[in-house]
Chains A and B, each alone.
Chain A
Amino acid sequence: MNGELPPIDPKIRAHLARRSAGGLPRGLLGDVAQALDSVAMERPRPRRIGGRVTWRSPQLAAAASIAVIAVVAAALVAIPRLATTPASSLAGYPADRALTTTELASLMAGPELAPNTTLVAAVTIESRQDVCPMNSRPTVGVVEGMGSQVCVMGATLAAELPGATTSGVFAFRYMARGYLGLLGQISPATSRLAFHVTDDWPLAGKTFLVEGWLGETPAICALLVPSPFSGDPLDPSGDEPCAYSWLSENGSPVPAPATWTPASGSPEAAAHAASSTPTADPLTLIGKARYVEAGGARQIDSIPQEPTRGVYVVRSVVGPCPGASPVDSRGCGIWRVLARVGDVKIPGPNESATIAAPTATPTTAPPETPVALPSALLDPAPVGFIGPGNRPLTAAEFQAAWAADRENLAGRIAIVKGPVPAGFVCSSADATTTTPACNVAKLDGFIAQEGYWGVRVGSDGRLTMLGELSLTRDGGFVFLPEDVIADTGLAPNDLLIVSGELNVRTTETCVATDPNCSPPTDLHDTSAVLDAGPGAYGAVTGEDYGNPVTGLFLIRRGTDSVEILACFEFSYL
């Protein structure tokens, strides 16, 4: 069978058989099942930097408790997601159209989405009255056409799915891979999917989308108001004790209800004048705005206080009428914001899907994110330098970083996106300023070649070229260890960025108490191991032994091992 391998040694075999003999420990299978139950609700670890198994079974709790997570200041960026390639927006989504079944399937099969990301999709849901096998929770249905099973959670919303199958546009919150939480079936507007603020919104418990600006007007309240309960993400509360939220067409400030008066001669004016308590009817337009309840959604989706444009999932609910006595049991309609639809980007033909967390999106392009600098306390080498979101620095970012703290940048390896400033010198002798500066225009002119480049920053600002980074097969620049092994297109001396975990390889011949021993080091993930040679762990951490280090590593590929040149953004585990 293994002709090219040495023959089986019966003596070794006998010893190994002796070592592995004996029955399974009593209760092991149950312990495994219990450990699996404990992580059933955890999201599977995405294949990305920084991702770690956060679970520990009871037997492993002690080991986990001593694992110190120290995010080192050299964690230049704290970006949760690694986008390997730019993604493009879905045209018209979500104001004009919903995700198709195919698009939803690709998103569910793609990289992990942020929990609670709200998606709007036109799908068919097969009703179920059982439990989702993934987490043994009651499910109300399964989304058809997803390839792998996608359960729909939300037992209280089973009425939304009256038949054996229900087709329509639904708003979901992404809960984890394999299951979605149902916010509700969406009632579309006439000409498109989302309503404008000034449209007539549906009543009687309907759920719908509204495109506009969600803002709030502060209200006078007691100093010590407890934080309101956000509610179930699938049924958020509306509590917002110290503010009046509103949705508006243009984001302009909206007055508090008590101070609002309708324009003279307007349809609302007569009713307003007749009212003994001049409070606004929640269903009435306030100029180009409407009051809404949004306290729970604000907390769940981290929607800021400032007017934030987006497409919101809104439901008309019945609540107490403003100024009405408690005996008025009929109630009044209230608009409750359930969620803000997530900013979804879908992949191109060879790209991977990325989804932004469901936080507010600025309506104007922000300036390029400032680049945080590593702590001056750290030894410059081999801590490297990379841009926000684990992407190469642009020339402008590099210039800003250099201008901000040249002392700290000097000596480090930086990853820069071309055009590359080869031969370029950041000079402190600029004629117009004493701040160290770089001439970006001139910089751009030196090399017009696109690409990702590793450069070493000299103390004089001069850059020494290490080389161009190899790209993954899908055009990204971050490899996993198994990619490095499997990619036959790579050659010795290629420069790569690898996401993985750096570990000291334990051997009895190189023990922790031996100061003269540089222990061998592995760079690995759950699937593959790269031999990083002796001393690599110590070069990165300054200690020969310690906890594993996870991060992005710049490596030079050897024939049977790799050389660690720099470590970007790392943390101890």
Chain B
Amino acid sequence: MERLLVEQAISGDRHAFDSLVRNRVDAVYRTSLAILGDAADAADAVQETFVSAWCHRASLRDPDLFDAWLGRINLNACRGQLRRRVRTRVREIRLLDPEDGREPASTDRALDERTADADVFDRAFARLSADDRAVLVLHHLQERPVAEIATTLGAPEGTVKSRLHRARAALESALAKESR
């Protein structure tokens, strides 16, 4: 059934493509959000992904590889968002208490620590390239098989492990810098 939908979409059937979009928009959005860390950027990436997929549907040679193919397009869309962000970068800062210039007090120390931990992670993650972010998301979050990660990254299977290792090392390095 799914393969039939893909085949119909490739042949130009918008209704079939719309069905595919409905089935995947959530997953594509979450992947984009994990990579980009910004809801608006992720929403833009989702739009770009599906429009690009529709425009380039003729390039999908094997309907069975639709998800990996869509993943590649999504990764490219995320790359594009990150590139655009270079020119329009806004650095978020923590708000200070307007009364005395100190940070707002917290009554929940554990929550504060978790928030700080998340903040460090997000800032460290933002230091990584789109490809490094993607390989970490595909493996550690989505647990995709090697072959699918390779297809999504457009890289040989043999280099997935090294890319993953490189991305992990980059993340550790970034975490160390952000924790100082």
* Distance between B122 CB and nearest chain A CB, rounded to angstroms: 7
Nearest CB to that of B73 among chain A residues?
A526
The answer to whether A4 and B146 touch across the interface, beta carbons within 8 angstroms, is: yes
The answer to whether A32 and B12 touch across the interface, beta carbons within 8 angstroms, is: no
The answer to whether A178 and B12 touch across the interface, beta carbons within 8 angstroms, is: yes
**Residue among A16, A36, A135 making CB contact with B140, cutoff 8 Å:** A16
In the complex, B137 has a CB within 8 A of chain A: yes
Given contacts A16-B137, A35-B47, A527-B72, contact A512 B86 (CB under 8 A): yes
In the complex, B118 has a CB within 8 A of chain A: yes
Residues of A within 8 A of B171 (CB): 12
* Distance between B92 CB and nearest chain A CB, rounded to angstroms: 14
Residues of B within 8 A of A47 (CB): 58-59
In the complex, B6 has a CB within 8 A of chain A: no
Residues of B within 8 A of A24 (CB): 25-26, 29
In the complex, A5 has a CB within 8 A of chain B: yes
Nearest CB to that of B76 among chain A residues?
A526
The answer to whether B69 and A527 touch across the interface, beta carbons within 8 angstroms, is: yes
The answer to whether A63 and B84 touch across the interface, beta carbons within 8 angstroms, is: yes
Interface string of A497-524 (1 = CB under 8 A from B): 0000001111111011000000010101
The answer to whether B86 and A503 touch across the interface, beta carbons within 8 angstroms, is: no
Residues of A within 8 A of B29 (CB): 24-25, 28
**Residue among A1, A18, A36, A527 making CB contact with B54, cutoff 8 Å:** A36
Task: Tell me whether chain B's interface is mostly helix, strand or loop, or mixed.
Answer: helix
The answer to whether B82 and A506 touch across the interface, beta carbons within 8 angstroms, is: yes
Name A188-227 residues within 8 Å CB distance of B.
Answer: none
Residues of B within 8 A of A8 (CB): 139-140, 143
Residues of B within 8 A of A18 (CB): 118
Name B44-80 residues within 8 Å CB distance of A.
Answer: 44, 46-48, 50-52, 54-59, 69, 72-73, 76, 79
In the complex, B94 has a CB within 8 A of chain A: no
Residues of B within 8 A of A504 (CB): 83
Residues of A within 8 A of B5 (CB): none
- Which of B12, B16, B43, B69 is the most central at the interface, judged by chain A CB atoms within 10 Å of its CB? B12
The answer to whether A36 and B50 touch across the interface, beta carbons within 8 angstroms, is: yes
Given contacts A485-B154, A507-B128, A529-B155, contact A545 B86 (CB under 8 A): yes
Residues of A within 8 A of B130 (CB): 505-506
Residues of B within 8 A of A53 (CB): 51-52, 55
Residues of B within 8 A of A520 (CB): 129
The answer to whether B52 and A526 touch across the interface, beta carbons within 8 angstroms, is: yes
Interface string of A547-558 (1 = CB under 8 A from B): 010000000000
- In the complex, A157 Cα to B37 Cα: how many Å? 53
The answer to whether A39 and B141 touch across the interface, beta carbons within 8 angstroms, is: no
Residues of A within 8 A of B87 (CB): 66
Residues of B within 8 A of A509 (CB): 127, 174
**Residue among A20, A45, A528 making CB contact with B72, cutoff 8 Å:** A528
Task: Tell me whether chain A's interface is mostly helix, strand or loop, or mixed.
Answer: loop
* Distance between A87 CB and nearest chain B CB, rounded to angstroms: 19
Nearest CB to that of B39 among chain A residues?
A25
The answer to whether A134 and B51 touch across the interface, beta carbons within 8 angstroms, is: no
Q: In the complex, identify which listed stretch (A54-62, A332-340, A342-350) lies at the interface while the others stay far away.
A: A54-62
Given contacts A57-B48, A512-B86, contact A5 B146 (CB under 8 A): yes
In the complex, A29 has a CB within 8 A of chain B: yes
* Distance between B139 CB and nearest chain A CB, rounded to angstroms: 6
Residues of A within 8 A of B33 (CB): 19-20, 22
The answer to whether B154 and A5 touch across the interface, beta carbons within 8 angstroms, is: no
Given contacts A9-B140, A16-B136, A36-B50, contact A527 B59 (CB under 8 A): yes
The answer to whether B51 and A149 touch across the interface, beta carbons within 8 angstroms, is: no
Nearest CB to that of B162 among chain A residues?
A560
In the complex, A330 has a CB within 8 A of chain B: no
Residues of B within 8 A of A505 (CB): 79, 129-131
The answer to whether B48 and A19 touch across the interface, beta carbons within 8 angstroms, is: no
5 A-B residue pairs with CB within 8 Å: A2-B146, A19-B37, A36-B14, A503-B83, A524-B76
Residues of B within 8 A of A (CB): 10-18, 21-22, 25-26, 29-31, 33-34, 37, 39, 43-44, 46-48, 50-52, 54-59, 69, 72-73, 76, 79, 82-87, 118, 121-122, 125-131, 136-137, 139-141, 143, 145-146, 153-156, 159-161, 164-165, 168, 171, 174
Q: A2-B145, A506-B83 are in contact. List 9 more A-B contacts (CB 8 A).
A: A5-B161, A31-B47, A45-B55, A59-B44, A149-B11, A504-B83, A506-B129, A526-B59, A529-B154
